[in-house]
Structure 1
Amino acid sequence: MPNNQFLEDQRVARLATVDDRGRPHIVPIVFAYADGVVYTPIDLKPKTTSPERLRRVRNILANPQVQVLVDHYDEDWQRLGYVQLRGTAEIIERGAEYDQAIRLLEEKYQQYQELPLEGRPVIKISVERTVTWGQEL
């Protein structure tokens, strides 16, 4: 199991997906982690296309196996660390779990007071394997 405090403290992660031709795609994400699940929103930050046309969404629909990398860099290399979270992704848009995801994201990121998430899709990643490395973990 990952160090929950480490995951709560980190503000940005990287989401890796693979398209139907096996080509990787990595994007920085905001996220919340709870009970073995990562939630990341498709929010209203500027994007070049609609949510359903985003490459990460298309890739998840073609191949739901994903990986999230949450890392910490420090000039003191004794304090470096990361958590890799591998799992299966799906898009959620309603229901009790969706409401919980929105609440967790709004609690973690003050920016969502000005940039509402309600009605926006959320990527849910059910973590199946965790790899940790570093002194802080």
Structure 2
Amino acid sequence: MTLSPQRGSTTTVSPSVNEFLTAPQTAVLTTLRPDGSPHLTPVRFTWDPWAGVARVLTVNTTRKVRNVLATPQARVALCQVDGFRWVTLEGTALVFDVPERVAEGVRRYAERYCSGPPNPPGRVVVEIAVDRVLSLNC
């Protein structure tokens, strides 16, 4: 697996959007398959408002990881919905298997969801540098 360099972001969100993104809910992650068709999958994720980064823990053999790895600087969308409220985070995704980055994803996951994530072999973290935030009623 190719490791990608860290990059910064300057995305800011309102306090109400930030609060919504820290509630222990799931979201739908959209990546693009090599043929350009969308692949949508429900995920748990974390939001780092200071860095403008969303993180998704997963396994290196999943379709979403293969989609991100197939396209350098892959564009993705992560949408959390609760009734008539929603927030979509859009940006570029990179996949990391570096233990320190995965551990940071695990730490943030446990903090948000009040329990540790599963620990399957091949665990990686997908980091999304958010550059666009869309929302309704948040």
Query: How does the TM-score come out when normalised to structure 2?
Result: 0.77
Q: Is the 8 A contact 1:102 1:117 kept in 2?
A: no
Match of 2:92 among 88, 93, 112: 88
The number of residue pairs the alignment matches comes to: 120
Q: CA RMSD in A?
A: 2.1
Alignment partners' CA distance in 1, 2:91 and 2:32: 13
User: 2:126 is matched with which residue?
Assistant: 123
Identical residues among aligned pairs (%):
28
Which one has a larger percent helix, Structure 1 or Structure 2?
1
Q: Which has the larger radius of gyration?
A: 1
- 8 Å CA contact retained: 1:12, 1:28: yes
Unaligned 5+ segments in structure 1 are: 43-50, 74-79
Question: How do residues 57-96 of structure 1 correspond to structure 2 at under 5 angstroms?
Answer: 57-63=65-71, 64-73=74-83, 80-94=84-98, 96=100
Return the alpha-carbon distance in structure 1 between the equivalents of residues 53 and 35 of structure 2: 27
Deviation at 1:111, TM superposition (A): 3.7
**Alpha-carbon contact 2:29-2:40 (below 8 Å) kept:** yes
Instruction: Give the SS at the match of 2:91.
Output: strand
| Contiguous gaps of at least 5 residues in structure 2 | 1-12
